[in-house]
Amino acid sequence: MVETLSQILKRATREHWAVPHFNVSNTEALRGVIFAAFKLRSPLMIGVSEAERDFIGSRQAVALVKIYREEFKFPLFLNADHSKSVETAKAAIDAGFNSVHVDLSRKGSDENLRGTREVAVYAAKMRPDISVEGELGYLMTDSSKIYKKKITVDPESLTKPDEAEKFVEETGINRFAPAVGNLHGISANRPKLNYELIKELRKRIPDSVALVLHGGSGNAPAVFRRVIDSGINNIHISTQLRISYAKALHKSVKEDPEELAPYKIMSPVVAAVQKKAEEFIKIFRADGRAT
């Protein structure tokens, strides 16, 4: 029997590893991360944000991932990452996504709770196997950016355990994304993650609900291992994959500026994304976890 995403995340919590979540923007990046996961036999979540969905096409992304899942026969899930409204989250569910992330963290707490709960109810009605993620607290930076200045995290932006407990209980979500000092993108200073806060959240939140770390790029391997041991079991990576993508593309074009065949130009790019994705899979202890 094929495991659902929720079942895999529960197993990751119990066995102290993290399911990798890699964002992609096109078919080359998609191939790179899927090849990495298939090679290392790792479950994989593929994330596409609203802008990435607009670029690839929601139904097209669903169809591509479905074909890869059927061909490679391993746990592969498509997540509608950072859906900024109830409407876009529902649209992703209607398009056939396996998972949806409702990111209303910049809204008021009441609006965030109501909207997230509405999406969770809708998902359960449409397809009970859909995994729904909610977010509380907020990250102070944007994804896929390199900040040349140091970023100081406002303590008020961090998730409060009492509010988190209520939020998870009243929304009925499957995954919970807190703000624990993490940052999107890469800043001049390494983020200082609050491990004690992660541990407290893990105590307050049922084991059936996964704890998600956004903004994984820029952290050292030892940090990832420590957050996993503290209770995180799903980690998002985007910026570092894009850096590998861009560097490989620039090199490919520079080395052979006369080449016109896209598959020749892009082959080193796919390989670079795959290599970087493999590194993270091993750090997250996810290799060999696909059943």
What does the pLDDT look like over 19-50, one tens digit per residue?
A: 999 999 999 999 999 999 999 999 999 999 99
Please give the domain boundaries of the chain with CATH numbers for all domains: 5-283 (3.20.20.70)
Cβ-proximal residues to 212 (8 Å cutoff; 6+ apart), any chain: 21, 133, 175, 176, 177, 178, 232, 234, 235, 236
Instruction: Say if residue 157's pLDDT is above 80.
Output: no
Q: What pLDDT shows up at residue 188?
A: 40
Residue 122 confidence class, pLDDT cut points 50, 70, 90? very high
Q: What pLDDT shows up at residue 151?
A: 53
Q: What is the mean pLDDT of residues 75-96?
A: 97
Q: What pLDDT shows up at residue 192?
A: 78
Q: What is the mean pLDDT of residues 97-112?
A: 93
- Model pTM? 0.92
What does the pLDDT look like over 203-246, one tens digit per residue?
A: 999 999 999 999 888 888 999 999 999 999 999 999 899 999 99
| CB distance 134 to 116 below 8 Å | yes
Q: What is the mean pLDDT of residues 150-170?
A: 82
Q: What pLDDT shows up at residue 145?
A: 52
